[in-house]
Amino acid sequence: MFPVKRYYGSPEIYERKLAEVMKRFQVDSYNFNWDRWGCWVEFRFQGELYRFEHKRPEPRG
């Protein structure tokens, strides 16, 4: 199996990339949040509301 290359950058870089993607899809309004436990993006595209979410797994204790 090949190693996974991870990309790290400042929040401004990822916010700019998100804005570029939303502009490409012609989405005028969207919400997003990310923190150390997960992230989500919510937007309306062609009249439908979409929400993409990712959460870190809970630690096993």
N residues, the chain? 61
- 48 domain residue, yes or no: yes
Confidence label for 23 from pLDDT (cuts 50, 70 and 90): very high
Contact, 56 vs 37, CB < 8 A? Answer: yes
- 1 domain residue, yes or no: no
39 forms beta bridges with 34, 54
What mean pLDDT, rounded, does the chain reach?
Answer: 89
Number of structural domains found in the chain = 1
44: containing domain: 11-55
- 36 domain residue, yes or no: yes
Confidence label for 16 from pLDDT (cuts 50, 70 and 90): very high
